[in-house]
Structure 1
């Protein structure tokens, strides 16, 4: 039997719980494969326990998830650094509220950046969403409200995907596509560019957040009295 994410999640849930059974087909499959076992108590009730084989599955899942997180964070860092080198101010994991229809949606783009400018019309806010696993990408593409929230907050929205996990045409046309190889970020399809201004709630979030180190600094406010550095 192929081990799916559903089986892994159920194993983890039972490991963390008192082992009360759901008595569904997922548990039947886990029991049949020897990843779970039934435990009958003196009181007559029955619980489930993860076997040593099941523990090995949990350990392998943990290592795989850690590797995926590390790869994801590494690519987020690459994109954020590229934005700062391009003269932009970038944030990672920023929480922004956006109005989608009649509802407010919390958006957390992997990388959000603006141009380093004092002219609001020239900000050109950009969102980069990073994906290194195909399953995560396909799950994300089903979340239309999340994508709509991004589009409410930026003039360009990009998906940065690890090479080999998807074809550019699988990404919705309202988003650009960047393919991340080992040493290069290649634009597979440009993002449609729209003029827009940041809403007030986005400004408040930016004011409270810390940008990625390495953003370009200038002396445009030295006239306020800050000492200049020779």
Structure 2
């Protein structure tokens, strides 16, 4: 029979600041046989009392999620669901706003974009999945003005995303404009300042369920959408179209036939 080792907690130790990586490790341990990794993350979880060490009679050591760890995982899962719900709600709000402006809108598209070479770095293909992708309702390729909106309701998620230059460059190459739409924290404050977002991207903030423009996204030279993007759009169904909000549907944008010259 395995017996848990006795842990002595020093009240003077600084509390461990738990992050997303700690919850991920706890889930991995909970689903596994508990073989120790013996890294810093495991040390911090042991110090926080969320993991405990077990030593078998044969001398082999394992780790196990404690009752406190189970409670922490349950709270983390609940928080993840809240964040996901808030994210999806803001994604839908932005998509509906773009559709009201007369654009065709897609959510969660998986697109393949080629990043051109930079200096000595060769070009490469990059898969990206913009939260909201929209184009103008036009039959002229150069008038489409593709736009990408990236939605962020968590500051940690935003800061991690801003470190991924390849992802941002893919969005910029894909769309004529790239916007970051920021939610607010529990105190009603925006999760970031506009200065924290790279200047090549625009910034909008959702406050009191209303989208506020903070900084306009620079308009990039218009170019035709790549063939691979057209194929992806053809396979997917727009999440919202102008017909959802304009009386007369998409044809209403064409104007009254009697008014044609």
Scaled by the length of structure 2, what TM-score is found? 0.81
* Kept in 2: contact 1:98–1:106 (CA 8 A): yes
* Kept in 2: contact 1:154–1:196 (CA 8 A): no
Q: Deviations over 1:168-201 (max 9, x none)?
A: 0111111100011122101100011122221111
Note the C-alpha offset of 1:97.
0.8
Note the C-alpha offset of 1:38.
1.4
Q: Deviations over 1:31-71 (max 9, x none)?
A: 22221111222333111110101100000110111110000
**Per the alignment, in what secondary structure is the counterpart of residue 250 of structure 2?**
coil
Q: Find the counterpart in structure 2 of residue 59 from structure 1.
A: 74
Q: Find the counterpart in structure 1 of residue 144 from structure 2.
A: 123
- Counterpart CA distance in 2 for 1:212 and 1:25 is 44
2:208 to 172, 175, 182: 182
1:135 to 144, 150, 156: 156
Q: Deviations over 1:50-102 (max 9, x none)?
A: 01011000001101111100000000000000111111100000011111131
* Kept in 2: contact 1:80–1:91 (CA 8 A): yes
Matches within 5 A, 1:1-230: 1=15, 2-100=17-115, 101=117, 102-163=123-184, 164-194=190-220, 195-216=222-243, 217-219=249-251
- Counterpart CA distance in 1 for 2:251 and 2:206 is 35
* Kept in 1: contact 2:105–2:241 (CA 8 A): no
- Counterpart CA distance in 1 for 2:217 and 2:240 is 26
- Counterpart CA distance in 1 for 2:82 and 2:251 is 42
- Counterpart CA distance in 2 for 1:183 and 1:25 is 41
Larger radius of gyration: 2
**Per the alignment, in what secondary structure is the counterpart of residue 48 of structure 1?**
strand
Note the C-alpha offset of 1:29.
2.5
- Counterpart CA distance in 2 for 1:96 and 1:187 is 27
- Counterpart CA distance in 2 for 1:110 and 1:73 is 9
* Kept in 2: contact 1:83–1:113 (CA 8 A): yes
Note the C-alpha offset of 1:8.
1.9
What is the aligned residue count? 220
**Per the alignment, in what secondary structure is the counterpart of residue 76 of structure 1?**
helix
* Kept in 2: contact 1:14–1:49 (CA 8 A): yes
